[in-house]
Structures are given as C-alpha cells and as structure tokens.
C-alpha cells in the first residue's frame, strides 16, 4: 500500500465515498472499489480493513496485473511440492495467508477466466485447494477487490464471469476523480507542498502564487491524486526562492526542447525507409546583423500566428506551442502582443 498518500479532502463527492467506506467496513461481505488510477483504491481497502473487526488480522494485498497468468493461481491458492516445474517446495497461497483477515485483489479485471472460476468457488464455499492437492482447506477471508474497468460491461462481453461479479458486488464504492472534487485540489496541493518543504528543511512555507493555483485547478489530472502529489513535490523541490510563492508548475516531467522525436512507422510493405525532402529555408542569413533581434522577431511571428489560429484563446495557444499558460503570458508580455488581437 502507498502509505505516503493520505485520505485528505473536503468535497461532497469525496466525503460521500469516505462515508460509504466507513459504513461498509464492519460488514463481512465482499466490497468492490471502482476508480481511475490514482484515486485512492488502496486507501479505501485499508480503511475497510482497519475499521472492521478483522483490524488486528492480516491485510494481504495481491496485484493481479503484476503476475503472469501461469503464476496467478499458484499465488492465490498456493501449491504443493512438485505440482509444476519449479515448485521445489510447498507454498501457502494468499488466501491462506489472509485467513481471518482481508484479501485485497487489485486490478481484478486482469484475472484469467480459469482464475476467476477458482476464485468464485473460494468466495462461495470458503474453501481453497493448493495446486497439486485434492484436499480443500477452509479459510475465513473477506475479499476487497479493485479495478478501473467497467466490470458489468466486461461481463456482458463475456470477458468477466457474471456469477463472480454477483458474488463480489455486495457493495460497490466508486471513487470520484480529482477533477470533480471541488476545492480538494487546493487542499491536497497545500498538504503535499508543506510536507515537501519540511522534507527539504525550508524555514517557512511560502504557498503557491495565484497563477500556479489557477493552473492546478484548470488541469484535468488524468493521474488524479498520485499525479497531483508528483506535480506539487516536483514544483517545490525545483523552486529556489523560499521567500516567494511557488510560481512555476510543470505537469509533464518529460517536457523538454530536447525530447527525442519518435521515428515514423514505415508504410506497409516498405522494405527500407525512404528519404524525406525537407522544405528549403528561403531566409538569407547574410542579411542578419542582429541575431537576438532576428530570433525575437521569429518568436513573435510564431506566437502571433498561433494566437490568430486559435482565435486568441491563450490556453489553446499554449497547448499548441507546448508551453504552460504562464510561459505564454510571459512571451506575450515580452513582445507586447495584445490579448484580444
């Protein structure tokens, strides 16, 4: 579990999910946790366990996507010595390890149909059998499973067992993405920023500038809270002026003028890459006597072109040029460009 990420938020959508988690925790029934990556599915699983009567028993986690299909069943149910090549000794599975406690199955939708069938029997009868053994073992395990997939749709397509879905969906907790958690971005950014400043031994926390907070609020956050934490911590550790509010946010850590460009895929049936004719530069370099002025004029022309093309929508223009909103604003101010064209 990623214990660096805490349950923090004040939005109605977030608090509703926390409340549903707390209400479901004392139950012995299975719970499905649905949410995009980085929304805190692991934290919900841990809360379900810690607030249950099983809190002092094991909480065993298994990422179903991290193992090859041939090993998933052996990990879940264990195996006897000699059950397959490489099984040099008997080994208990995750179900046996989680006996009397909670088994958290992350990335549930990646389980093979064979593993789903055996999981169904374990959930329905409370029994597991190690691979290579015909003797069933009784286990008392509460299952919490998580995924970012639409399981009912997968069941309709025959890619997930509908009967297993029925057994696991006593209650379903769907976590809201960060972009709909009104007010939580600021709260989380402050929390992660202060924590990073403490780690760097800053004497005080300067906070974020209004422009930086606006950029954080406007971003879509495909990676949700986990991505927000990375973005904020990166902004703090790169900021040199401890007395000034943090004013620069870089959302994409791969953003660079020297980023390698992917080679175009060869056309179907092509035996060898063909040469590409590049446009001939018509500018006479002999006439350039002021390099800085020429570069500035070229930069201004590019920005003017994209502003006009995007009808002076500055956020769209910044995206088209690979700039942040603040970088574009600085460039426009530098060249004295009008906001309204």
C-alpha 232/C-alpha 223 separation (Å) is: 13
- Please state, as a whole number, how many other Cβ atoms lie within 10 Å of the Cβ of residue 175: 26
Count Cβ neighbours within 10 Å for each residue of 10-37 and write b for 16 or more, e otherwise: ebeebeebbebbeebbeeeebbbbbbbe
Confidence check: pLDDT of 190 > 70 = yes
3-state secondary structure of 21: helix
> What pLDDT is attached to residue 19?
96
The pLDDT confidence band at residue 267, using thresholds 50, 70 and 90, is low
CA distances from 250 to 138, 147, 200, 223, 327 (A): 52, 29, 19, 14, 11
Q: What is the mean pLDDT of residues 103-107?
A: 96
> What pLDDT is attached to residue 97?
95
Tokens standing for residue 205: 């926390």
Q: pLDDT of 16-63, one tens digit each?
A: 999 999 999 999 999 999 999 999 999 999 999 999 999 999 999 999
> What pLDDT is attached to residue 270?
52
Instruction: Classify domain 12-176 at the CATH class level.
Output: alpha beta
Architecture of domain 179-238: Orthogonal Bundle (1.10)
Count Cβ neighbours within 10 Å for each residue of 40-62 and write b for 16 or more, e otherwise: bbbbbbbbbbeebebeebbbbbb
Q: What is the mean pLDDT of residues 194-206?
A: 94
C-alpha 232/C-alpha 240 separation (Å) is: 14
Question: To the nearest whole number, what is the mean pLDDT of the chain?
Answer: 87
- The whole model's pTM is what? 0.72
The pLDDT confidence band at residue 326, using thresholds 50, 70 and 90, is confident
Q: Is 265 exposed, middle or buried (0-12, 13-18, 19+ CB in 10 A)?
A: exposed
Q: pLDDT of 221-250, one tens digit each?
A: 999 999 999 999 999 999 988 889 999 999
Q: What is the mean pLDDT of residues 90-99?
A: 91
Tokens standing for residue 262: 């992917």
Structural domain boundaries of the chain? 12-176, 179-238, 296-335
Q: Any idea what DSSP says for residue 275?
A: P
Is-contact 248 235, C-beta < 8 A?
yes
Is-contact 226 5, C-beta < 8 A?
yes
Tokens standing for residue 211: 């422009």
Q: What are phi and psi of 334, to 5 degrees?
A: -60, -40
> What pLDDT is attached to residue 280?
40
C-alpha 141/C-alpha 98 separation (Å) is: 6
pLDDT > 70: percent of the chain? 89
C-alpha 187/C-alpha 180 separation (Å) is: 14
3-state secondary structure of 94: helix
């Amino acid at each position: 579990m990623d214990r660096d990420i805490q349950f923090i938020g004040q939005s109605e959508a977030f608090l509703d999910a926390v409340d549903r988690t707390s209400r479901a925790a004392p139950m012995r029934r299975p719970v499905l946790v649905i949410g995009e990556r980085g929304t805190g599915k692991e934290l919900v699983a841990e809360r379900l366990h810690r607030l249950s009567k099983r809190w002092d028993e094991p909480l065993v986690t298994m990422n179903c996507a991290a193992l090859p299909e041939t090993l998933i069943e052996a990990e879940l149910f264990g195996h006897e010595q000699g059950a397959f090549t490489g099984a040099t000794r008997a080994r208990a599975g995750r179900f046996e390890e989680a006996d009397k406690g909670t088994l958290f199955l992350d990335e549930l939708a990646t389980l093979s149909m064979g593993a789903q069938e055996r999981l169904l029997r374990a959930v329905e009868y409370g029994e597991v059998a190690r691979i290579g053994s015909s003797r069933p073992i009784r286990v008392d395990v509460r299952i919490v499973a998580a995924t970012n997939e639409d399981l009912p749709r997968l069941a309709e397509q025959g890619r997930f067992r509908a009967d297993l879905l029925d057994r696991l969906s006593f209650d379903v907790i769907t976590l809201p993405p960060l972009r709909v958690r009104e007010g939580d971005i600021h709260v989380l950014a402050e929390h992660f920023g202060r924590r990073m400043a403490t780690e760097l031994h800053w004497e005080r926390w300067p906070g974020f500038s209004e422009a930086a907070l606006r950029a954080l609020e406007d971003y879509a956050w495909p990676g949700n809270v986990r991505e927000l934490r990375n973005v904020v911590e990166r902004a703090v550790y790169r900021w040199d002026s401890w007395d000034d509010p943090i004013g620069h946010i870089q959302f994409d850590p791969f953003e660079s003028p020297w980023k390698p460009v992917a080679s175009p895929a060869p056309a179907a049936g092509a035996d060898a890459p063909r040469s590409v004719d590049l446009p001939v530069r018509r500018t006479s370099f002999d006439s350039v006597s002021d390099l800085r002025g020429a570069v500035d004029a070229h930069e201004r022309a590019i920005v003017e072109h994209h502003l006009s093309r995007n009808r002076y929508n500055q956020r769209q223009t910044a995206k088209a040029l690979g700039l942040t909103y603040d970088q574009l604003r600085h460039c426009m101010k530098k060249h004295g460009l009008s906001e309204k064209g």
